[in-house]
Amino acid sequence: MTRLLREKKSGLYYEGFGKWTAHKQNAFEFKDNQSAMACGRRLKWPNVELIFKFSGFGHDVAFPLR
């Protein structure tokens, strides 16, 4: 399972070091849920969501960070 951050309105993925990308394959992969959630809170973007990407699964699962 891969953990990514995405800005819901723009569809951009967090690349790291304050950068965002339109390409999922360039997104930063977090090692665990806690570090992804902590980073999402630090970014202070209102529409950031945690994305779980499962290999072999047809779609991603998104959870909003509040």
Q: Where along the chain do its domains lie? A: 2-64
Q: CA dihedral defined by 47, 48, 50, 53, rounded to 10 degrees?
A: 90
CB 29 within 8 A of CB 2: yes
pLDDT one digit per residue (tens) for the chain, 66 residues: 899 999 999 999 999 998 999 999 999 999 999 999 999 989 887 899 999 998 877 788 999 987
